[in-house]
Amino acid sequence: MAEHVLQDPVVQVTEVRELARDLVVIPDRRVQLVPNIGIIGGREAVLVVETGLGPGNAAKVLEFAADYAQGRRLFLTTTHFHPEHSFGAQVFAGEATFLVNRAQAEDLKVKGAGYLEMFKGLGEPVARRLRGVELVEPDVVYDEAYDLDLGGRVVQLRATGRAHSKGDQVIRVPDADVLFTGDLVEAAQFAIFPWFPPYDADVSGTRWLAVMQRLAAEGAGVVVPGHGDVGGPQLLTDVRDYLRLLRDETWIRRDSAVGEQTIIDEISALMIERHPEWAGREWIEKGVSCLCTEHPA
Ligand SMILES: [Zn+2]
């Protein structure tokens, strides 16, 4: 997020993958600022997970979803308020019921406009995608948990509490053993810490770790990460283990009063050695800085 994005963050609906009966993913194709997008069907209704960045992408997702639904009622949810996940919801107005957890709705209200400006600064391809964005309020807001009955298939929407953002939620499809995690989990990428004090300091390394310990314990046969390839339960344990190591290595150095820049340099080297194939190395530093502030005094 801190760096310029040169490639057009366009959603392509050409490599759609069926993960289970009546459940498909429009993959991110590893393009920055394109999320994995889910379409989950039941007898009566279809749930779309994530909009893509901006109204143009969202219109494409809606067109695909409406065609896929074949007259079934449409619902939309988003895993968290970040622009590539939710800044296209306006297109679904009148076509789908937009449903999210309360903390996410609050995030969007409080920080949406600021993120819109920040993302416009990430380069021309992103700014173009964000043209005409209007931030809309959800139709339905729930507090902790919502079971959405699509007809013969119940999807579980669960607020996780503050982690990658203040208002993350996960979406579980129990009959297919599929879990949509949003940016709580990325595949082959270091955990994204949107740590931008004083503008946004809501990400919490310790709470995120607690969420991942819970999700890893619950497990899931198929995990759809926010970005990167769909995988199995190891995606959950990988992130849990990374966050735990990041915390432990940060706090050990903090205990011995090592300066923050030294901590960053040492831990970045350590993590890159451990995960040489992972992208997003700039997020290690943000994670260390966040966890420094969470060090128990
Ligand atoms: Zn995010």
Interval between CA 80 and ligand 1 midpoint (Å): 7
Interval between CA 71 and ligand 1 midpoint (Å): 32
Interval between CA 152 and ligand 1 midpoint (Å): 31
Predicted pLDDT of residue 245:
98
Predicted pLDDT of residue 211:
98
Predicted pLDDT of residue 257:
83
If 0-12 CB within 10 Å is exposed, 13-18 middle and 19+ buried, where does residue 107 land? buried
Both structure tokens of 134: 């209007």
Q: Smallest Cα–Cα separation from 184: which of 243, 143, 126, 231?
A: 243
| Rounded distance between C-alpha atoms, residue 65 and residue 150, angstroms | 14
In sequence order, the β-bridge partners of residue 294 are none
- Answer yes or no: are the C-beta atoms of 41 and 178 closer than 8 Å: no
**pTM to 2 decimals?**
0.97
Distances from the Cα of 47 to the Cαs of 19, 60, 297, in angstroms? 15, 15, 45
In sequence order, the β-bridge partners of residue 98 are 76
Predicted pLDDT of residue 142:
98
Interval between CA 258 and ligand 1 midpoint (Å): 30
Predicted pLDDT of residue 3:
62
Q: Smallest Cα–Cα separation from 268: which of 283, 254, 258, 253?
A: 283
Q: Smallest Cα–Cα separation from 197: which of 85, 105, 283, 286?
A: 286
DSSP of 233-269, one letter per residue? THHHHHHHHHHHHHHHHHHHHHHTT--HHHHHHHHHH
If 0-12 CB within 10 Å is exposed, 13-18 middle and 19+ buried, where does residue 154 land? middle
Helix (H) or strand (E) holding 108: helix 102-120
Interval between CA 33 and ligand 1 midpoint (Å): 9
Omega before 198 within 30 of 0, i.e. cis? yes
Rg (CA), the chain: 18
Interval between CA 206 and ligand 1 midpoint (Å): 17
Both structure tokens of 240: 């849990």
Interval between CA 293 and ligand 1 midpoint (Å): 20
Which fold does the domain 17-233 belong to in CATH? Answer: Metallo-beta-lactamase; Chain A (3.60.15)
Interval between CA 163 and ligand 1 midpoint (Å): 10
- Answer yes or no: are the C-beta atoms of 180 and 74 closer than 8 Å: no
| Rounded distance between C-alpha atoms, residue 46 and residue 38, angstroms | 10
Interval between CA 37 and ligand 1 midpoint (Å): 14
Instruction: For residue 88, give the 3-state DSSP assignment.
Output: coil
Interval between CA 203 and ligand 1 midpoint (Å): 10
> What residue segments make up the domains of the chain, in order of their start?
17-233
Interval between CA 228 and ligand 1 midpoint (Å): 13
Interval between CA 256 and ligand 1 midpoint (Å): 32
Name, in order, each residue with C-beta under 8 angstroms of 73's C-beta and a sequence gap of 6 or more.
Answer: 44, 45, 46, 97
Instruction: For residue 31, give the 3-state DSSP assignment.
Output: coil
Interval between CA 38 and ligand 1 midpoint (Å): 16
Interval between CA 164 and ligand 1 midpoint (Å): 7
Q: What is the mean pLDDT of each run of 10 residues along the chain (297 residues)?
A: 76 96 97 97 98 98 98 98 98 98 98 96 96 98 98 98 98 98 98 94 98 98 98 98 98 91 97 97 97 92
